[in-house]
């Protein structure tokens, strides 16, 4: 069974849940949660990168673990006589110099202080292999769980990661069971001894085990991404609530720029409604969900919101002091100004995993510039390796490291043209999921059709030829630069691992090459080159972009059928607010899109969905 996709179904679910809220709750549980912290111990800017002292003084910083502690302590004090748990949906590792320098030590030391009841294992917890993860597990004071992750064959981890825990909260047993994205062996480095089972198959076994222990309230704490959470809710029996992570999805009950409602409701396999929540990433938000259950453990009602940790939340002084102490050795590295940016450089997840983005152009061109003297003509970077934007003005090494936190090296190889195309097929094979394998390129341009089956989506590939472009030749051997993670098969790039010739994985660090390129082109002007398009190809009228006109879908509201409209096809990361701003010139006109398409308030958009827009 798959998740219901129609907006009408979701709207009906919310309406039914709201009516259920009138019923008397036999047991009320508040779930405080966050996800995808990614080593953001210090406050972050609006671009999710480091926040400068000037921005901090102006009240423009968000999050950071000291703010998290203040907010959590205050909220738990308000709920002192009630039932409360505090949980994380994983990915505490990776994303700043704190992780690069201290690995899991700082994470364990500081996370131990904020009162976590249970944490999901994230894919990035494997980034430095089983040994670093094992050291982390030995230092934390909270359980880290992942049921579909089989570590029995890995001596460093065997018997250290349970699939679920049972918490006693207010005299009631609360089961918390966790699953992890099954492509973790492609997106991280768990090693050959760690295996991953299908999430739904594992839950089908784990839920009855919990029920046999007298547990009738079961929370799935997932790190599989929001699209997969929708499928889990619809297909996995016995799950009452899903608290998710991995996709950095911003669900909200109040913000018009949200990517979906908080909670989002899905009808489960037995007909019960399952609330799903997720609260973006990078310590900017903490989710606050209240769930009412009856005596049998059925969800009567759920409500809450993702709470923004802005300047109105005062950082905990003791925690802030500990962070500052750990940050001292990092300051000299972070503070070095390497260039000037003439405008902000977009490195947002929703951009770089779906289409050409400004940060992707920068990184790919920097890689190519570094290696072109060695005969390299094509650069391919994974969108998932770009972790933040950079704002206009002075660019510090700290900002570059926030964009590129993985300490990847530049890797070069030779590939036949046919193998380059094969690699690009992998790049667009999971675009509807917003997967990190999406390719940002230089010295090459490609077109794709996302409506085709994976493996046959690439429609055109051309390589730079003097001042122009020429079709890629299947048997011609090309010099290609990427990063060592992708060259080793990461993000599904098995072609780079298995078919590369004359491969060399030990070039300079990628962040150093990008910093040098920025410095050589300072002030750097962000740009898009049109090297990635959706449709048939390039040239006059040949390429059809994602928001090109297609045959109009029937409107859900017959009264609007006479309106003059253009058709927009929803892409990963789109919100009604952003679509209105980009296409209509005024974000507040999102209400007009709702009206024209007969959408409910808080509608969840589906990738590939056609929307009618006023011309």
Which domain CATH number covers 83? 3.60.21.10
State pLDDT tens for residues 40-51: 999 998 878 788
Q: Give the pLDDT mean for 493-512.
A: 89
Last residue of a domain, one of 266, 293, 327: 327
- Kindly state whether residues 294 and 347 are assigned to the same domain: no
Which tops the pLDDT comparison, 347 or 21? 347
pLDDT of residue 542: 33
pLDDT of residue 5: 31
Within a domain: 539: no
- Kindly state whether residues 455 and 603 are assigned to the same domain: no
The band of 565, judged by pLDDT with boundaries at 50, 70 and 90, is low
- Kindly state whether residues 159 and 123 are assigned to the same domain: yes
How many structural domains are present in the chain?
Answer: 3
- Go through 496-510 and write b for each residue having 16 or more CB atoms within 10 A of its CB, e for each that does not: beebbeebbbebebb
Q: Is the pLDDT of residue 557 over 70?
A: no
- Kindly state whether residues 496 and 524 are assigned to the same domain: yes
pLDDT of residue 505: 81
pLDDT of residue 279: 98
Q: Give the pLDDT mean for 605-614.
A: 72
Q: Is the pLDDT of residue 610 over 80?
A: no
Shortest CA distance to 443 belongs to which of 482, 403, 483? 482
Last residue of a domain, one of 294, 327, 360: 327
Least confident of 355-369, 430-444, 583-597: 583-597
State pLDDT tens for residues 138-150: 999 999 999 999 9
Q: Could you tell me what percent of the chain has a pLDDT over 70?
A: 88
* CA–CA separation, 69 and 320 (whole Å): 10
State pLDDT tens for residues 315-325: 999 999 999 99
pLDDT of residue 384: 94
- Kindly state whether residues 406 and 280 are assigned to the same domain: no
- Kindly state whether residues 497 and 586 are assigned to the same domain: no
Instruction: Tell me the C-alpha to C-alpha distance, in Å, between residue 112 and each of 33, 134, 137, 139, 166.
Output: 15, 16, 12, 9, 20
Q: Is the pLDDT of residue 506 over 90?
A: no
Q: Could you tell me the CATH number of the domain that includes residue 605?
A: 3.10.350
C-beta separation of 610 from 568 below 8 A: yes
CA 140 to chain centre: 24
pLDDT of residue 599: 72
- Kindly state whether residues 281 and 406 are assigned to the same domain: no
Q: Give the pLDDT mean for 541-554.
A: 32
Structure tokens at 429: 């094979």
Within a domain: 559: no
Shortest CA distance to 415 belongs to which of 384, 461, 347, 362? 461
The band of 396, judged by pLDDT with boundaries at 50, 70 and 90, is very high
Q: Give the pLDDT mean for 368-385.
A: 94
Shortest CA distance to 280 belongs to which of 255, 230, 245? 245
* CA–CA separation, 221 and 200 (whole Å): 13
Q: Give the pLDDT mean for 364-391.
A: 95
* CA–CA separation, 318 and 543 (whole Å): 57
Q: Give the pLDDT mean for 370-388.
A: 94
Q: What are phi and psi of 133, to 5 degrees?
A: -65, -40
Q: Is the pLDDT of residue 309 over 60?
A: yes
Q: Mean pLDDT across the chain, nearest whole number?
A: 88
Shortest CA distance to 73 belongs to which of 321, 316, 320, 307? 316
pLDDT of residue 186: 80
- Go through 559-568 and write b for each residue having 16 or more CB atoms within 10 A of its CB, e for each that does not: ebeeeebeeb
How many beta carbons lie within 10 A of that of residue 57, not counting itself? 10
Least confident of 209-223, 397-411, 586-600: 586-600
Least confident of 186-190, 195-199, 278-282: 186-190
- Kindly state whether residues 164 and 96 are assigned to the same domain: yes
Least confident of 72-76, 151-155, 551-555: 551-555
Tell me whether residue 272 is exposed, middle or buried, using C-beta atoms within 10 angstroms of its C-beta: 0 to 12, 13 to 18, 19 or more: middle
Within a domain: 541: no
Last residue of a domain, one of 306, 327, 348: 327
* CA–CA separation, 535 and 135 (whole Å): 48
Give the chain's end-to-end CA distance (angstroms, integer). Answer: 39
The band of 472, judged by pLDDT with boundaries at 50, 70 and 90, is very high
Q: Is the pLDDT of residue 10 over 50?
A: no
Range of the domain at 361: 338-534
* CA–CA separation, 476 and 474 (whole Å): 6
- Kindly state whether residues 508 and 582 are assigned to the same domain: no
Within a domain: 542: no
Within a domain: 557: no
Within a domain: 467: yes
Within a domain: 8: no
pLDDT of residue 538: 80
The band of 331, judged by pLDDT with boundaries at 50, 70 and 90, is confident
Question: Pairing state of beta strands 172-180 and 218-223?
Answer: parallel
State pLDDT tens for residues 78-117: 999 999 999 999 999 987 889 988 999 999 999 999 999 9
- Kindly state whether residues 354 and 320 are assigned to the same domain: no
Q: Give the pLDDT mean for 254-260.
A: 93
C-beta separation of 262 from 287 below 8 A: yes
- Kindly state whether residues 411 and 307 are assigned to the same domain: no
Least confident of 44-48, 303-307, 443-447, 487-491: 44-48
pLDDT of residue 28: 98
pLDDT of residue 188: 86
Q: What are phi and psi of 373, to 5 degrees?
A: -60, -15
Within a domain: 560: no
How many beta carbons lie within 10 A of that of residue 555, not counting itself? 16
- Kindly state whether residues 319 and 386 are assigned to the same domain: no
Q: Could you tell me the CATH number of the domain that includes residue 407?
A: 3.90.780.10
Q: Which residue has the tokens 């072609």?
A: 495
Instruction: Output the pTM of the full model.
Output: 0.70
- Go through 569-580 and write b for each residue having 16 or more CB atoms within 10 A of its CB, e for each that does not: bbbbbbbbbbbb
Q: Is the pLDDT of residue 551 over 80?
A: no
State pLDDT tens for residues 133-187: 999 999 999 999 999 999 999 999 999 999 999 999 999 999 999 999 998 998 7
């Amino acid at each position: 069974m798959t998740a219901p996709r129609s907006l009408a179904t979701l709207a009906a679910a919310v309406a039914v849940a709201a009516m259920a809220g009138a019923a008397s709750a036999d047991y009320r549980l508040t779930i405080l949660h966050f996800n995808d912290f990614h080593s953001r111990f210090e406050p972050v800017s609006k671009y999710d990168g480091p926040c400068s002292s000037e921005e901090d003084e102006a009240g423009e910083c968000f999050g950071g673990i000291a703010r998290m502690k203040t907010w959590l302590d205050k909220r738990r004090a308000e709920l002192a006589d009630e039932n409360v748990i505090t949980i994380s949906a994983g990915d505490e590792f990776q994303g700043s110099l704190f992780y690069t320098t201290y690995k899991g030590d700082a994470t364990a030391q500081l996370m131990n202080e904020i009162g976590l009841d249970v944490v999901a294992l994230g894919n990035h917890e494997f980034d430095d292999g089983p040994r670093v993860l094992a050291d982390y597990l030995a230092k934390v004071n909270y359980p880290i769980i992942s049921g579909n992750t089989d570590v029995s064959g890995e001596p460093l981890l065997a018997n250290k990661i349970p699939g679920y825990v049972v918490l006693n909260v207010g005299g009631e047993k609360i089961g918390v069971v966790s699953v992890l994205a099954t492509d973790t062996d492609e997106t991280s480095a768990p090693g050959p001894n760690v295996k991953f089972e299908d999430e739904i198959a594992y839950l089908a076994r784990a839920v009855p085990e919990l029920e046999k222990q007298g547990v009738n309230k079961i929370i799935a704490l997932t790190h599989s991404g929001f699209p997969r959470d929708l499928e889990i809710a619809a297909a996995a029996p016995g799950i009452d609530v899903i608290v998710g992570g991995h996709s950095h999805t911003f669900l909200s009950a109040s913000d018009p720029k949200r990517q979906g409602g908080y909670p989002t409701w899905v009808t489960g396999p037995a007909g019960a409604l399952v609330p799903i929540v997720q609260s973006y990433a990078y310590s900017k938000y903490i989710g606050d969900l209240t769930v009412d259950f009856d005596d049998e453990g059925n969800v009567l009602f759920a409500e809450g919101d993702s709470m923004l940790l802005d300047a109105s939340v005062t950082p905990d002084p003791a925690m802030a002091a500990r962070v500052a102490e750990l940050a001292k050795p990092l300051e000299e590295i972070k503070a070095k100004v390497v260039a000037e940016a003439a405008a902000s450089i977009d490195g947002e997840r929703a951009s770089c995993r779906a289409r050409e983005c400004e940060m992707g152009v920068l990184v790919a061109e920097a890689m190519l510039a570094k290696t072109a003297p060695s005969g390299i003509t094509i650069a391919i970077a994974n969108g998932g390796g770009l972790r933040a934007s950079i704002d206009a003005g002075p660019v510090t090494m700290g900002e570059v490291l926030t964009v590129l936190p993985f300490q990847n090296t530049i890797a070069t190889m030779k590939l036949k043209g046919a193998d380059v195309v094969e690699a690009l097929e992998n790049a667009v094979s999971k675009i509807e999921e917003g997967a990190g394998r999406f390719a940002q390129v230089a010295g090459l341009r490609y077109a794709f059709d996302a409506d085709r089956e994976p493996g046959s989506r690439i429609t055109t590939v051309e390589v730079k030829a003097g001042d122009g472009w020429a079709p890629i030749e299947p048997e011609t051997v090309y010099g290609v630069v990427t990063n060592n993670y992708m060259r080793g098969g990461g993000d599904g790039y098995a072609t780079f691992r298995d078919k590369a010739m004359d491969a060399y994985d030990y070039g300079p660090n990628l962040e150093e090459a990008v910093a040098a390129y920025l410095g050589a082109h300072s002030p750097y002007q962000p740009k898009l080159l049109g090297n990635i398009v959706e449709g048939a190809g390039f040239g006059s009228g040949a390429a059809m972009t994602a928001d090109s006109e297609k045959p109009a879908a029937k409107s859900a509201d017959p009264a609007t059928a006479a309106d003059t409209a253009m058709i927009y096809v929803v892409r990963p990361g789109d919100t009604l607010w952003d679509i209105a701003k980009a296409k209509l010139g005024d974000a507040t006109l999102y209400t007009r899109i709702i009206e024209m398409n007969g959408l409910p308030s808080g509608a969840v958009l589906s990738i590939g969905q056609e929307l009618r827009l006023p011309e």
